[in-house]
Amino acid sequence: MSYISPENWSPADGFTLEPAAEIAVKAEMNNLILAGPGAGKTELLAQRACYLLQTNLCPSPQKILAISFKTDAAENLKKRVELRCGKELASRFESRTFDSFAKQLLDRFRLGIPEAYRPGKDYNIAFSQREIQDIVTGYIKERHPNRPNWQYEINFNILFRRLSEDRLPVFENGEDIYSWILVRIWDILVHGREGLSSTLTFPMISKLADYLLQHNLLIKKALQMTYSHVFLDEFQDTTYLQYELVKTAFLGTSSILTSVGDDKQRIMGWAGALSDSFEQFKCDFNAGQIELTQNHRSAPRLIEIQNVLAKIINENSTDARVSSSHSEQEGKCEVWNFQTHIDEAIFVASNIVKRIQHGDITPRDICILVKQQEQIYARAVIEELGRQGIHARIEKEYQDLLAEECVQLIIDFFKLATMEKTHESWLRVSELLTYVHGYDLELDHKKILGIELELNKHISQVKSDLNELSTDLELCEQRIGEIVEGIFSFIGIEKLFRLYPKYSKGSYFNKLIKDTVKKLANAYEKYLDWSNSIADILGLFSVPIMTIHKSKGLEYDTVIFLGLEDDAFWTFRTQRLADMCTFFVALSRAKTQCFFTFSNSRETLRYGDIQVRTQSSVNISSLYQLLKDANVDVREITDINDI
């Protein structure tokens, strides 16, 4: 492998970096990169990876570790690095989520954990607080000497938080009922009990990974020698638990850390995000600070409004600069006021349909955002869009699923069996087969050719099986499940699990496959055509609908935010800054147009019932004031046909 000298390196694919970004890409020290919306942080991290790999400043065989919050963000960064510097170098770039990083450590070095906290090899993962609550009340049989009715007296939210955050080992404190429970529940969850398998939550996995590194200096040293550089994405959302793991692993080592974030998009406080993560990182890791100021995403008019809001969130905020790709007057932002949510639905749907029919954008270029309760807030819009021939869907059911490698593999096989022009799918599947069999692309041509011939045969079999599917949904779902099982048998399930260890423990893999099979069957029942069914699952025909939290890291030509109202921002009085940041995230997803709606009456979920309630904007009047200060037009929509 020939490398480029650092002084001769230039950005991949002719990409031009702003001066601050070029400094960040080539930095040889720990740095915090302040990157606002549209600053191109994914590209910056990809170019930095290319620089380090192509110049061998990340010396072979060492690797770069990139940690993101969301599966799709980790996958996007991985693909971007492969695109920029090729698969050979990109094989030394690991892109993971925090959960995946912690789980990999636990699964690989589980036996290094002291027996008192060592989980079973095939532990299950609990995804909800309710599962833990049921285990606590069902499996702790002992009576507390002073609190015999503790099950009915404690706050399970506090217990769940402490299960995640209290340092290991946990000790019993006679004055603290929670410590009494924690000692017992850790033992039950880690070791299993009376038919209950070893069961962990992802925060517990992170805690155990941290405990592992603290007790095994050789493992910790091996980790540090493996990764010469570490990237931390969306750093403003880092939790105490995640930051502790990063510090345990890399503080005081030669590994160079690059954190990227934006304090104006700190919207995960409810999930335990640190309020001062930037300052802690700079202090702990003696890190410099670099600020990117160019916004490559949004049109000038939208950037003007973002800058007004940014100054309110942080008075020291630097104004974002407009990209040269936009014309000076480009961009549009309005508030639409309606009498009822039905009027809102008709107007919003008609506006979307008109834009799509004019041919300038696709359904996927438009996003409908809500603060909460997307099934309720967007229900009337979904129904009205359906009446006008446009499909819209709640995106959270698909986002994480489609980012999973095993799901992508299923989709690739179905594409190869049913569609033309699937060159990318063929490359991905054949390369995966080559990799899991341990073949060398340069030396094992005959073996690889043999694999590709077998792949062709199996694709033909899948095609034949799919052509014979029943139109009965239950039978169809059962047969698709068998076809998918055949795909993984062809690849070799053990080989796949070695490649992706996260699938080898518990019921996670089976749950993913079950969900995917169900969605494939439902899509096929709708279209009876695989080309359209796959496109539907990928969302190519649908207007995506999601909460603001789910929209982090995404961008759309047009964003329509439903419900700029007090009921939606019910925490505004007590969490004003967090809600301002949430509003900023919504506004900054848009490239050219952003609209906010207000309705005098709206369906909301209250005490478990859907009720039509009168809406107001008194509590969030400061949000309306900042829009007014930014000269955003407010339209009273009295004629819903006046699009």
Could you report the per-residue pLDDT of 260-312, keeping only the tens digit for each? 999 888 777 766 778 889 999 999 999 999 999 999 899 999 999 999 999 99
37 is in an annotated binding site: yes
Q: How far apart are CA 301 and CA 307, in angstroms?
A: 10
Residue with tokens 């993971």: 96
Tokens of 553: 């890291």
Distances (CA, A) of 643 to 106, 237, 355, 635, 639: 56, 39, 10, 11, 9
Tokens of 418: 């049913």
- Mean pLDDT is lowest, of 79-93, 218-232, 323-337, 382-396, for 323-337
120 is in an annotated binding site: no
38 is in an annotated binding site: yes
Q: What are the tens digits of pLDDT across the range 610-620? A: 888 999 999 99
41 is in an annotated binding site: yes
Q: What are the tens digits of pLDDT across the range 174-188? A: 788 999 999 999 999
Task: Write out 194-230 in H/E/C secondary structure.
Answer: CCECCEECHHHHHHHHHHHHHHCHHHHHHHHHHEEEE
151 CB contacts (<8 Å, ≥6 apart)?
A: 136, 137
Question: If you ran DSSP here, which 8-state letter would residue 11 be given?
Answer: -
350 CB contacts (<8 Å, ≥6 apart)?
A: 388, 640, 641, 643
Terminal CA-CA length for the chain? 59
39 is in an annotated binding site: yes
Cis peptide bond prior to 59, omega within 30° of 0 = no
Does pLDDT of 212 surpass 90? yes
Burial class from Cβ neighbours inside 10 Å (0-12, 13-18, 19+) for residue 219 reads middle
135 CB contacts (<8 Å, ≥6 apart)?
A: 126, 185, 188, 189, 196, 199
Residues 545-554 have a mean pLDDT of 91
Tokens of 227: 């990764």
Question: If you ran DSSP here, which 8-state letter would residue 139 be given?
Answer: H
pLDDT for 500: 83
Q: How far apart are CA 563 and CA 573, in angstroms?
A: 17
Q: Are 344 and 599 in contact (CB under 8 A)?
A: yes
Q: What are the tens digits of pLDDT across the range 19-47? A: 999 999 999 999 999 999 999 899 999 99
Residue with tokens 């095939």: 122
pTM given for the model: 0.83
pLDDT for 286: 96
pLDDT for 167: 85
Q: What are the tens digits of pLDDT across the range 362-391? A: 999 999 999 999 999 999 999 999 999 999
pLDDT for 609: 84
**Residues across the chain:** 643
Pairing between strand 391-394 and 542-547? parallel
Which amino acid, one-letter code, is at 234? E
Percent of the chain clearing pLDDT 70 (strictly above): 99
In DSSP terms, which residues pair with 125 in a beta bridge? Answer: 200
Task: Write out 415-455 in H/E/C secondary structure.
Answer: HHHHCCCCHHHHHHHHHHHHHHCCCCCCCCHHHHHHHHHHH
Does pLDDT of 537 surpass 80? yes
Q: How far apart are CA 48 and CA 63, in angstroms?
A: 13
pLDDT band, very low/low/confident/very high, at 408 (cuts 50, 70, 90): very high
Burial class from Cβ neighbours inside 10 Å (0-12, 13-18, 19+) for residue 60 reads exposed
Helices first, then strands: H and E counts in the chain: 25, 19
Q: How far apart are CA 555 and CA 212, in angstroms?
A: 39
Q: How far apart are CA 219 and CA 111, in angstroms?
A: 11
Task: Write out 220-288 in H/E/C secondary structure.
Answer: HHHHHHHEEEEEECCHHHCEHHHHHHHHHHHCCCCCEEEEEECHHHCCCHHHCECCCHHHHHHHHCCCE
Residues 413-433 have a mean pLDDT of 89
Mean residue pLDDT of the chain comes to 91
Q: What are the tens digits of pLDDT across the range 228-272? A: 999 999 999 898 889 999 999 999 999 999 999 998 887 777 667
Where in 272-431 does DSSP place strands (E)? 288-292, 294-295, 321-322, 332-338, 366-370, 391-394
Q: How far apart are CA 413 and CA 491, in angstroms?
A: 11
Tokens of 535: 């496109």
Does pLDDT of 323 surpass 80? no
Which one has a higher pLDDT value, 353 or 273? 353
pLDDT for 394: 93
Angle between helices 405-418 and 445-467 (to 10 degrees): 70
Phi, psi of 286 (to 5 degrees): 50, 50
Residue 351, number of CB atoms within 10 A of its CB: 17
Percent of the chain clearing pLDDT 90 (strictly above): 65
Pairing between strand 31-35 and 288-292? parallel
pLDDT for 297: 92
Q: How far apart are CA 319 and CA 294, in angstroms?
A: 9
Which amino acid, one-letter code, is at 224? Q
Q: Are 369 and 589 in contact (CB under 8 A)?
A: yes
Does pLDDT of 643 surpass 70? no
148 is in an annotated binding site: no
Q: How far apart are CA 191 and CA 76, in angstroms?
A: 37
36 is in an annotated binding site: yes
